Chains A and B, each alone.
Chain A
Amino acid sequence: MTAVFKDHDADHRVKTKWWASRIAIYAALLTWAVICLFPIFWTITTSFKLAPDVMKGNLIPWVDFTPRWKGWESLGMSPRLIGEVSTVREEFLKRFWNSTIVSLSASTLAVILGSLAAYGLSRFSYRFGFMRNSDISFFFLSQMILPPVVLALPFLVLYKSLALLDSRVGLILLYTLMVLPIVIWIMRDQFQGIPVELEEAALVDGLGIWGAFLQIVLPIALPGMVAAFILSLVLCWNEYFFAALLTATNATTLPVMVASQTGSQGINWWSMAALSSAAILPLVIVAIFLEKYIIKGMAAGAVK
């Protein structure tokens, strides 16, 4: 930095410039923060509005309008209805549970398969026919460009003959396939950052390669695995396309439920808003508390 003295013309100029850039930076940051937050704010507040509030365009709770539980009541989840039996709530919880099970299992499966493959590829050299390590890596990563629409129809027919249509297992398999390349991408980066000497020492001490992997490498790579897991979780939780095509009643996930309500006529804004809020809240909470891991996961591979 240029040395700044207090009372010279040049210093004033430097100072004004500094302040101007500060203000510009914070203005830009705040603008984008509003752009990011407003839709979420709008959705959550709308779930507490009544029809007149929506029509008058009231924005700020307690100032413009009095929050009511109307929207959440239509989901059976207001303080008044929470003790009673509610079919809507049952329905919602069933979808919620489906989403949870499917995304958790698919992410777990993908992290297990992906970590193993990534470790193997980063440590040993393979030859499957004409394919060497770089070809195998490319084979895995190239699955990323496969558009879901290509697989959707064959899977529909395949699942029909396997009686896997409208089942959680079917979705879990597909979602695992969908996130596997991303997991391998992240984990390969992780394992390449771990020095081989660690395993060599473990081998000298009498562990097998699997022992060395499970006892020495895995604990070190754990943060990376968590990152990959959370990223997979987000992708699976939000997936709509396969779920819409391959499920009908039993295994339907939350996005499908949200989408099916959107199509219905007449604006039931408060109940749609409540449903949307309930669908996005879990991941918003994940984002707030596990932001570090999400960023780590996405940054992997970007920087070598």
Chain B
Amino acid sequence: MSNTEGDLLHTVTADNIPDARRRFGKAIVWGSALLVAVLAIWQMAFETGRIASGFQTWRPVLYAYMLWATALCAAQVIVNGEKGKRTLFVLPAALFVISLVVFPLLFALYISFTDWNLASPNGPQPNGWDNMRQMWNDGFYWNALKNMVYYVLAVSVEYVIAFGLALLLNAQIRARKFFRVVFLLPLMLSPVAVSWMIGKSMLEIRFGPISRALREFGVEPSFFGTPEIARFMIMAMDAWTFIPFMMIMLLAGLQALPREVIEASKVDGATGWQSFREVIFPLMLPVSVTAIVIRIIFKLKLADIIINVTSGGPGGATDSVTSFIFREYRDRSNVGYGTLLAMVYLVLIVIFVTLLLKVVSRWMERPA
């Protein structure tokens, strides 16, 4: 990202773009934008009942919008010539993300201050700060946020296991490829399948193999009865699927370490543990921090396993914010309130991740 000063790839541009061409380029952009606006206003008027005729859905507006996006891309080249061709690399992706994220987010902001319930016939009615007040008194939401703290903290254990596995795979072993494939497999499985495979069948109280094994040892199994154990089981299942992810990042880091430094430490008489603590671990810090940060970001979206195994039970002990809002929508159709909860969560996440990045950025640089 150090190329902000100038182009890395210099191109000589000798564009002689006639005024007529420029005007044409601008005309198609504004023309199609006008079309979008007219269609949108017409449709809006139709839906509010001011005009008798209109379209069934908003599809035509969507098509007009796509036409506008295409015109905007084409106009880059038409108006700016060679420079526009450069813009054309980034513009499609940028337009795509902006239209799919920014507009829905603005819309979400509006919904979150309404009392919209899909079951009610009235449609959205703004209700000021009511949702906010409801959230303030909603113990289950705060409980879900508290659970997220536990879930995020569990990343540290996952990291230790993943680092251990990466070290094992990096050691002098036979059948390395076999072990690598096997260790990677859990990541390939969908969390929903994992919910059944482990959560619902292997941990089944009567016939599950793990329950059976526990009974052999004289322990009466109960995996989702008490809050602590249930939360631990969810963490374990999630860890099982995602440990390979961190493991592979760390393994890549280990393989990129300068060999001479480690050998030098051996020559200097360091034991295995010493060379790990004094040499390997410090050198691995940047990779470790990257892996942990990305893993935390994924962890903040944790939901699938919870939805399918415990539905947040017992008593909300395993609820993550996402699974809680999912049920708020699915079971109660509370679109307005659910969206407010989601927006608050987004704000909290942004603050948290920004702080996290601030704190860890000093370790993300490789020590010289």
Co-assembled chains A and B = yes
A140 cross-chain contacts in B, Cβ below 8 A: 93, 97
Contacting residue for B93 out of A113, A256, A286, CB 8 A: A113
Type the 1/0 row for A184-224, where 1 means its CB is closer than 8 Å to any CB of B.
10000000000010011001000011100100000000000
B343 at the interface (CB under 8 A from A): yes
Known: A180-B93, A180-B96. A154 touches B107 (CB 8 A): yes
B182 cross-chain contacts in A, Cβ below 8 A: 33, 36-37
Stretch at the interface among B15-23, B27-35, B219-227, B246-254: B246-254
- Complex Cα spacing A42 to B366, Å: 44
Q: Determine which residue in B82, B193, B325 has the highest number of CB atoms from chain A within 10 A of its CB, and name it.
A: B193
Contacting residue for A280 out of B5, B188, B200, CB 8 A: B188
How many residues on A have C-beta within 8 angstroms of the other chain's C-beta atoms?
105
Using C-beta atoms within 8 Å of the partner chain, give the interface range for chain B.
35 or more
- Complex Cα spacing A234 to B190, Å: 9
B303 at the interface (CB under 8 A from A): yes
A85 at the interface (CB under 8 A from B): no
Residue pair B94, A291 in contact (C-beta under 8 Å)? no
Residue pair B291, A302 in contact (C-beta under 8 Å)? yes
Q: Return the chain B residue nearest A199 by Cβ.
A: B9
Contacting residue for B97 out of A55, A116, A143, A150, CB 8 A: A143
B172 to chain A, nearest CB (A): 9
Contacting residue for B322 out of A147, A203, A209, CB 8 A: A147
Known: A37-B185, A173-B100, A288-B181. A150 touches B201 (CB 8 A): no
A279 cross-chain contacts in B, Cβ below 8 A: 190, 192-193
Contacting residue for A124 out of B86, B195, B252, CB 8 A: B86
Type the 1/0 row for A86-122, where 1 means its CB is closer than 8 Å to any CB of B.
0000000000000000000000000001101101111
- Complex Cα spacing A203 to B338, Å: 54
Majority secondary structure of chain B interface residues (helix, strand, loop or mixed): helix
Type the 1/0 row for A118-140, where 1 means its CB is closer than 8 Å to any CB of B.
01111111101000111011011
- Listed in ascending order, the chain B residues whose CB lies under 8 Å from chain A are 1, 3-11, 56-59, 62, 82, 85-90, 92-94, 96-97, 100-101, 104-105, 107-108, 111, 164-165, 168, 171, 173, 177, 179-198, 200-202, 204, 206-207, 209, 212, 240, 245, 248-253, 256, 286-287, 290-291, 294, 297, 300-301, 303-304, 307-308, 321-322, 325-326, 329-330, 335, 338-339, 342-343, 345-346, 349-350, 353, 366
Sample 24 A-B pairs with CB under 8 A, ordered by A number: A32-B183, A40-B189, A42-B201, A46-B201, A54-B207, A113-B96, A116-B93, A117-B93, A125-B7, A154-B104, A154-B108, A156-B335, A161-B57, A163-B58, A177-B100, A237-B190, A245-B329, A245-B330, A255-B191, A259-B307, A269-B201, A283-B188, A295-B184, A302-B250
Given contacts A25-B171, A234-B188, A240-B307, 10 further A-B contacts (CB under 8 A): A32-B165, A35-B240, A43-B193, A151-B101, A153-B342, A161-B58, A177-B100, A259-B308, A280-B193, A295-B251
Which 5 residue pairs spanning A and B have beta carbons closest together?
A: A120-B89, A299-B252, A238-B190, A117-B93, A154-B104
